[in-house]
Amino acid sequence: MARRVVVTGMGAVTPIGNSVKEFWEGLLEGRNGVDYITRFDASQHKTKFAAEVKNVNFDDVLDRRERNRVDLYAAFAMKAAKEAMEDAGVDLEKLNRDRAGVVVGSGIGGILSFETEHAKMLKHGPRRVSPYFVPQMISDIAAGHISIRYKLTGPNYATVSACATASHAIGDAVRLIRYGDADFMVAGGSEAAICPMGVAGFNSMQALSTRNDDPKHASRPFDRLRDGFVIGEGCGILILEELEHAKKRGAQIYAEIRGVGFTADAYHITAPAPGGEGARRAMRMCVEDGGLNLDEIDYINAHGTSTPYNDKSETEAIKALFGEHAYKLNVSSTKSMTGHLLGAAGAIELIATVLAVKHNVVPPTINYQEPDPECDLNYTPNQPQERVVRAAINNAFGFGGHNACISVSKFVE
């Protein structure tokens, strides 16, 4: 019998709150994290707004000297990991650290450090590049920092699959526990790519909304007037444990991770496969992997990026898989509030999914004003909805055709 995996701790740094409590309250309030960019002068960019993390204090995880040697994405990860570890209430002295590991990914990694050091080299020459540049920039270093901080000597690595990164990280961590390689895993994703090159790059591929006159209504998943995603930043971390390990130490249990589904579109570097075919297979796999029936799924936390193609293809995938039950589901995109956290999206959105299952409340899709005839499901428009959520799916799809879906249910002995 497969080992069961449960969620025992969570941590979040997001554009709508710098803790899980603030994040969840923000979702239920319909709090909007999108505004004009303050991180740099965006006057020459096509898009002048983003969903920035605000008022985050790193003093409890990094002193000033350490902060100067760590990219922002890794700092976000250390902040969220601290909250998650404390939330899990684990006694590190009693933890078998050889069976405790970290899988935390980043889709882009330390692009802020890359920009800074590249500018320094162009202006002053290569000898002025920081000796910390490479470890600041690489996408695995957040996982490394967390492992070092807590002396977790089990499996330790990063995943990179664009906007599916965090979901792949969490799915891998689930499997490491299931297969007996670990009992306790820190898993998630972190991203900090709101910078001149990041915004310019996404602008050049026409992926971002350019609603500069009304940024608060720019992230509008499934709405007919959607014109692109809003770039966000932040981190989500979950503590995953083997069930008996969690029970033995008296841990709180938020929910059970039931199944994982990974597929590829094998179609195009950015566009989804026609009809959401790869997404459909990934959702089916994660439901079947969890031993669930399709009619037990009550909620889907959608990838829902607010781009014309993604929202339409995801809707098609849901309808193709669930048939008539698709119209009994609640679907929502929390990206309407947080923007798109790229490689961190799957983690913070899985936290939202776990809390929806725990509290029987579905967070809304805000800015939903004009229905799209091609997107005709219940997207939980503008207000949260109370309903029993027995089981739910979180979807994450990345450039390159990467699809990662995770199913969650209420914990039952």
357, containing H or E segment: helix 345-359
State residue 405's pLDDT score: 98
Q: Which of 248, 280, 301 is the last residue of a domain?
A: 248
Q: Name the one residue in this structure whose structure tokens are 């929910």.
A: 255
Asked if residue 358 is part of any domain, the answer here is yes
Rounded mean pLDDT, 320-336 = 98
Whether residue 246 contacts residue 253, with contact meaning beta carbons closer than 8 Å, is answered with: yes
Do residue 292 and residue 350 come from a single domain?
yes
Asked if residue 413 is part of any domain, the answer here is no
Do residue 297 and residue 206 come from a single domain?
no
Asked if residue 105 is part of any domain, the answer here is yes
Asked if residue 394 is part of any domain, the answer here is yes
Rounded mean pLDDT, 151-160 = 98
% residues pLDDT > 70 (the chain): 100
Q: Name the one residue in this structure whose structure tokens are 């990219």.
A: 71
User: Residue 322 above 90 pLDDT?
Assistant: yes
Both tokens assigned to 75 = 């700092």
Do residue 324 and residue 363 come from a single domain?
yes
Q: Among residues 168, 245, 303, 402, which one is catalytic?
A: 303
Supply the range of the domain harboring residue 319: 259-408
Number of H helices, E strands in the chain: 13, 14
State residue 347's pLDDT score: 98
Provide CB contacts within 8 A for 226, sequence distance 6+.
209, 220, 306, 307, 308, 311, 372
Nearest to 182 by CA among 146, 143, 156, 154: 154
Nearest to 166 by CA among 118, 66, 117, 238: 238
User: Residue 283 above 90 pLDDT?
Assistant: yes
Q: Which of 221, 248, 275 is the last residue of a domain?
A: 248
Do residue 207 and residue 272 come from a single domain?
no
Q: Which amino acid is at 403?
A: N
Asked if residue 47 is part of any domain, the answer here is yes
Whether residue 346 contacts residue 291, with contact meaning beta carbons closer than 8 Å, is answered with: no
Rounded mean pLDDT, 2-7 = 94
Q: Among residues 45, 145, 163, 375, which one is catalytic?
A: 163
Do residue 168 and residue 80 come from a single domain?
yes
Nearest to 306 by CA among 211, 210, 221: 221
Do residue 278 and residue 389 come from a single domain?
yes
**Could you report the per-residue pLDDT of 207-261, keeping only the tens digit for each?**
999 999 999 999 999 999 999 999 999 999 999 999 999 999 999 999 999 999 9
Asked if residue 254 is part of any domain, the answer here is no
Q: Whole-prediction pTM value?
A: 0.97
Whether residue 298 contacts residue 292, with contact meaning beta carbons closer than 8 Å, is answered with: no
Known catalytic residue at 195: no
Do residue 190 and residue 334 come from a single domain?
no
Do residue 311 and residue 208 come from a single domain?
no
Q: How far apart are CA 200 and CA 261, in angstroms?
A: 33
Do residue 44 and residue 148 come from a single domain?
yes
Do residue 348 and residue 271 come from a single domain?
yes
C-beta neighbour count of 388 within 10 angstroms: 9
Do residue 277 and residue 324 come from a single domain?
yes
C-beta neighbour count of 283 within 10 angstroms: 28
Q: Which of 214, 248, 282 is the last residue of a domain?
A: 248
3-state secondary structure of 190: strand
DSSP codes, 64-111? HHHHTTS-HHHHHHHHHHHHHHHHHT--TTTS-GGGEEEEEE-SS-SH
C-beta neighbour count of 213 within 10 angstroms: 8
State residue 1's pLDDT score: 64
**Using N-to-C axis directions, what is the helix angle for 20-29 and 345-359, rounded to 10°?**
70
**Sign of torsion over alpha carbons 136, 141, 142, 146:** negative
Q: What is the CATH number of the domain that holds 383?
A: 3.40.47.10
State residue 413's pLDDT score: 86
pLDDT band at 313 (very low <50, low <70, confident <90, very high): very high
**Could you report the per-residue pLDDT of 360-402, keeping only the tens digit for each?**
999 999 999 999 999 999 999 999 999 999 999 999 999 999 9
Asked if residue 266 is part of any domain, the answer here is yes
- The total of structural domains in the chain comes to 2
In order of 10, 30, 186, the CA distances from 396 in angstroms are: 19, 21, 19
Q: How high is the mean pLDDT of the chain? A: 97
Known catalytic residue at 340: yes
pLDDT band at 101 (very low <50, low <70, confident <90, very high): very high
Do residue 295 and residue 227 come from a single domain?
no
Q: Among residues 340, 375, 402, 405, which one is catalytic?
A: 340
Asked if residue 56 is part of any domain, the answer here is yes
